[in-house]
């Protein structure tokens, strides 16, 4: 039975705080219509970022964070009113009320550094989510996960039983009402069905500077090639292996003395900070996927 591991406090601050993400064909007047709409509801814009792929005939993207007194009471009417604008401007959009935390599931195998980073940032109050469940094909992480009061499900996995394993996983994800899946060094390939089921909702960390070293054993191959920097990449998972929309990347300097083992140690530091950034940005609704790229509003 899933249990929320953080006490829920109805914070009026968060109840009235909302993020709006919009994507539509660019044309003059979009900002005017959006900001006037919000002003009519006495909402105060706290933060706003926008981007146009091309001011002439391009696509327009905007992220607005606003405060609106009594939002809970107004939200139904706002949603209805906004429909009209959205239709006029052909907008895809979504309102996110900060009061409702996104629920995450973390998938992990034997390497725990990314999981630990997520757990500690979360414990520290720096990861604004409810970690609903951790799912693993190994038992290594159980004791640490359970010490945080988070349910842990061990589902052995391999190529032969993939379909059955994923059915079980999907069942759990639904039972725990999960919004976002985080692959924190989960070393199993997912089927196209599974991936399609969670479009733009699975974040993976790949242990190389993509598109260099796509696929298995990137540190071994980086060592063999003699690169002077190694990296990691967080991205949304699609059905092209390691080809999904990149969210963040980072690198560290290495040299001829570093063995493959050294690269892995250095790499772990990069992986965990690149994954945590992607997860935070997703939870802050800073990311819009457009084709195979991401727009990240910092």
- Residues facing residue 131 across a β-bridge: 104
What is the closest distance, in whole angstroms, from the C-beta atom of residue 241 to a copy of itself in the complex?
14
Per CB under 8 A, 260 contacts a copy of itself: no
The least distance separating a copy of itself from the CB of residue 15, rounded to whole angstroms, comes to 16
Using rule CB under 8 A, residue 57 touches a copy of itself: no
Scan residues 79-118 and list those touching a copy of itself (CB under 8 A).
113, 116
Asked if 248 is part of the footprint of a copy of itself (rule: CB under 8 A), the reply reads yes
Is 88 designated active site?
no
200 binds a copy of itself, rule: CB under 8 A: no
Query: What residues contact 172, with CB distance under 8 A and at least 6 apart?
Result: 105, 133, 135, 153
Please report whether residue 184 would count as binding a copy of itself according to CB under 8 A.
no
Residue 251 lies near a copy of itself (rule: CB under 8 A)? yes
Task: Supply the minimum distance, in Å, between the C-beta of residue 220 and a copy of itself.
Answer: 14
Does 229 bind a copy of itself (CB under 8 A)? Our answer is: yes
Q: What is the 3-state secondary structure (H, E, C) of the chain?
A: CCCCCCCCCCCHHHHCEEEEEEEEECCCCHHHHHHHHHHHCCCEEEEEEEEECCCCCCEEEEEEEEECCCHHHHHHHHHHHHHHHHHHHCCEEEEEECCCCEEEEEEECCCCHHHHHHHHHHHCCCCCEEEEEEEECCCCCHHHHHHCCCCEEECCCCHHHHHHHHHHHHHHHHHCCCCEEEECCCCCCCCHHHHHHCCCCEEEEECCCCCCCCCCCHHHHHHHHCCCEEEEEEEECCCCCCCCCEEEEEEEECCCCCCHHHHHHHHHHHHHHHHHHHHHHHHCCCEEEECCEEEECC
Kindly state the smallest distance separating residue 11's Cβ from a copy of itself, in Å. 16
Q: How far is CA 12 from CA 55, 98, 105, 202, 285, in A?
A: 38, 10, 27, 31, 20
Among 6, 12, 13, 29, binds a copy of itself (CB under 8 A): 29
Among 2, 14, 15, 52, binds a copy of itself (CB under 8 A): 52
Could you say whether residue 294 binds a copy of itself (CB under 8 A)? yes
284 counts as binding a copy of itself under rule CB under 8 A: no
Residue 194 CB, shortest distance to a copy of itself, in Å, is 23
Beta bridge partners of 290: 293
- 228 lies in the binding site for a copy of itself (CB under 8 A): yes
In the complex, the smallest distance separating the C-beta of residue 169 from a copy of itself, rounded to whole angstroms, is 27
- Quick one: 109 or 249, whose CB is closer to a copy of itself? 249
Q: Is 156 in the site for a copy of itself (CB under 8 A)?
A: no
Does residue 70 belong to the site contacting a copy of itself (CB under 8 A)? no
Binding of a copy of itself at residue 42 (CB under 8 A)?
yes
Catalytically active residues are: 242
Residues at the contact surface with a copy of itself, assessed by CB under 8 A: 26-32, 35-36, 38-39, 42-52, 55, 67, 113, 116, 120, 124, 126, 147, 209-213, 225-229, 231, 245-251, 255-257, 265, 269, 273, 292-296, 298
């Amino acid at each position: 039975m899933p249990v929320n591991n953080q006490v829920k406090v109805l914070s009026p601050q968060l109840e009235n705080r909302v993020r709006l993400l919009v994507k539509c064909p660019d044309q003059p007047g979009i900002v005017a219509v959006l900001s006037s709409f919000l002003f009519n509801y006495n909402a105060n814009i706290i933060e706003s970022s926008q981007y146009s792929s091309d001011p002439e005939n391009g696509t327009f993207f905007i992220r607005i964070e606003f405060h609106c007194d009594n939002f809970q009471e107004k939200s139904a009417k706002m949603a209805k009113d906004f429909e009209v604008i959205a239709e006029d401007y052909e907008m895809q959009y979504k309102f996110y009320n900060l009061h409702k935390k996104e629920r995450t599931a973390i998938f992990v195998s034997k390497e725990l550094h990314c999981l630990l980073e997520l757990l500690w940032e979360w414990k520290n109050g720096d990861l604004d989510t409810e970690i609903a469940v951790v799912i693993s094909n190994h038992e290594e992480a159980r004791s640490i996960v359970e010490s945080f009061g988070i349910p842990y499900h061990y589902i052995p996995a391999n190529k032969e039983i993939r379909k059955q394993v994923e059915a079980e996983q999907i069942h759990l994800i639904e039972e725990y009402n999960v919004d976002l899946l985080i692959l924190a060094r989960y070393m199993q390939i997912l089927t196209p069905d599974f991936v399609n089921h969670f479009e733009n909702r699975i974040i993976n960390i790949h242990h190389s500077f993509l598109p260099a070293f796509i696929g298995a054993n990137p540190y071994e191959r980086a060592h063999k090639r003699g690169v002077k920097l190694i990296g990691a990449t967080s991205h949304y998972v699609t059905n092209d292996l390691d080809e999904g929309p990149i969210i963040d990347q980072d690198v560290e300097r290495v040299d001829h003395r570093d063995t493959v083992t050294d690269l892995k140690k250095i790499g772990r530091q990069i992986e965990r900070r690149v994954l945590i950034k992607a997860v935070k940005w997703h939870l802050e609704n800073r990311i819009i996927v457009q084709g195979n790229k991401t727009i990240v509003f910092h």
